[in-house]
Amino acid sequence: MHNRLTTVEDLDTTLRRHTLIKWREIKAVLEANPNCLKDVNLSDFEILPVVCLTHVPFLSIGPETDFIAPGLRSVVSISELQSWLGRSNAGFDAQSKGGA
């Protein structure tokens, strides 16, 4: 039974890592071709290759725990992403209100 659990955990880790690698590849393609979408210039945007899961994952130290932006790791739960977006938008809202 222990071996099966280890295999499932290994599969889960491999899947997260593979997904993250794919997102990083997509980011590189989009940054190399910022006009690849009609009427959108992607050079105006910061592309963050984040993998979002439904739960808080257990992660070993590695690419999944790298910070891709201040306070945002490469692999996060929905609640972690929501919290990060709330903090990011709070700063944006404060700047918007201050400039009005």
Q: What residue segments make up the domains of the chain, in order of their start?
A: 2-99
List Cα–Cα distances, 70 to 10, 53, 73, in angstroms: 28, 19, 8
Q: What per-residue confidence (pLDDT) applies to 53?
A: 86
pTM, to two decimals? 0.68
Residue recorded with tokens 């690849």 = 36
Tens-binned pLDDT, residue by residue, of the chain (100 aa): 455 556 656 666 777 888 889 999 999 999 998 888 888 888 888 889 999 888 877 777 888 889 999 999 999 999 999 999 998 766 555 444 454 4
12-21 burial, b at 16+ Cβ within 10 Å, e below that, comes to ebeebbebbe
Q: What per-residue confidence (pLDDT) applies to 69?
A: 92
